[in-house]
Structure 1
């Protein structure tokens, strides 16, 4: 697997001082972060990670287990860790970002300067309503009930037939994930959530605090599970401020 395929949507800016690697929600691809570079400081280089089974990698089989996915991503990103970096993940992507941060620290002695968790309960809190093993009809109904995918995607029958294998693989990965205890991370963790998101309550988001030995902060925004799409005017300034603060703490 070509290392560059993971970052095919990243326009590398060698003048940037920090790289922000972004991981999508179930069924999402790197394209959901396409516009983020326009709203973040120029010293931040947004690097959306393209997972197999979507976007430019649509013909590749999607992973169904999270740890093997992380083990594939980690060495592929190593060439791009030659400057300070942070990780952002939403929903399923939050688990990927967290486990990747742990893997990079433990196996490669590479620590992000900040971990951003969005729309996902802390790792030790299991999924409330697993849907990965339902029939296609029940699976689609489960997606609607959980508000686990954008409505415009669910309403496109032709696209859904193409996307179901990847969605099912993603939900298998998220629903069957089991946290294995590890030392707390040595980087700050910032957690974001939507005020109307039933899958990631404030208490479940606040529980991320135990996964860092340094600082933790939490920000709640108006909106449901997809507040990252609907509350950008609030999310981006907060994210920018946190990134710049972490960058100031690093000697470059």
Structure 2
């Protein structure tokens, strides 16, 4: 078993609640422009010996001095490689928006290249990988990216209004919107694990978009719809974490 003191450049580790030993891991993959801190407190609410590994993408927070990644394949390769030392326990993946596509790509790489099936893939607010359409927002420059972020809401929209933080936030947003804008659909490549989907009922990503993730699993698929928009998980965090805890326990 990996010692709790082992550090990772790619993951911020949140130990299980109440000092319990970890018996499983939930790897959390942020949305475009998102950071690992979005998943602070999740381990305490999941309970039951779940350690949370929150992905730390380059170009933000502790990795602010590093160049951002601008391609999905490069990011998925890097996250997969960084995850290999943590496979001594069952691993679930949770990804929101861009992170959902990344979770699928990581699960594929683990299964097809390393012979490891994740225990579950949990995807939020994102079209199924065989239905995604390139989103050219990044081609419109900073103005288009900012407009999209403000429309969707979320923490990044608040940060953009602060002149002192603007230049710190924008490089990651530019890079992540390029990842989303160049990620293309391809024929279904199923996973041998359960898949669960989550979406807000007022999101531009619809429940039907999430339902198509059923084609990705050879095991099972469940869909849960919450009140809210693209960042429903801010207001519905407790309900979401109860559902996740039940599924991964």
- 1:190 corresponds to 2:196: yes
Q: Deviations over 1:138-161 (max 9, x none)?
A: 331232234476432232233122
How many residue pairs are counted as aligned between the two chains?
A: 241
Q: Is the 8 A contact 2:130 2:188 kept in 1?
A: no
Quote the Cα distance in structure 2 between the aligned partners of 1:160 and 1:126.
29
* Cα distance between partner residues in 2 of 1:150 and 1:220: 24
Answer yes or no: is the 8 Å Cα contact 2:29–2:54 preserved in 1: yes
With over 3 angstroms needed to count, the CA separation of the structure-2 counterparts of 1:81 and 1:20, relative to structure 1, is: same
- How many angstroms apart in 1 are the aligned matches of 2:86 and 2:163? 38
| Contact 1:27–1:149, Cα closer than 8 Å, also in 2 | no
RMSD: 1.9
CA deviation vs aligned residue, 1:155-178 (integer Å, no higher than 9, x gap): 223312221111010010011101
Partner in structure 2 of residue 231 of structure 1: 236
Residue 112 (structure 1) shift: 0.5
Given the superposition, is the C-alpha separation of residues 6 and 128 from structure 1 closer, same or farther in structure 2, using an over 3 Å criterion? closer
Q: Which of the residues 27, 37, 41 maps onto 1:35?
A: 41
Aligned residue among 12, 16, 25 for 1:19 = 25
Q: For 1:91-130, list aligned pairs within 5 A.
A: 91-127=97-133, 129-130=135-136
TM-score scaled to structure 1, two decimals?
0.89
For the 8 Å contact 2:60–2:168, the answer to whether it is kept is no
Residue segments in structure 2 that go unaligned for 5+ positions in a row: 1-6
Structure-1 residue corresponding to 2:182? 176
What is the TM-score normalised by the length of structure 2? 0.90
Residue 123 of structure 1: CA displacement? 1.1
Cα deviation, residue 107, structure 1: 0.5
Task: Please give the per-residue CA displacement for 1:105-154, whole angstroms capped at 9, x wherever unaligned.
Answer: 00001111100001111112234752111132233123223447643223
**Residue of structure 2 equivalent to 1:249:** none
* Equivalent residue number for residue 136 of structure 1: 142
Tell me the equivalent position of 1:10. Answer: 13
Give distance in 2, aligned partners of 1:124 and 1:157.
39
SS at match of 1:133: helix
Between the aligned partners of 2:180 and 2:22, the Cα distance in structure 1 is 33
Single out whichever of 22-31 and 151-160 deviates more from structure 2: 151-160
Measure the CA separation in 2 of the matches of 1:157 and 1:201.
34
Hey, what's the Cα distance between the residues in 2 that align with 1:193 and 1:234? 12
Q: Which residue of 1 aligns with 2:3?
A: none
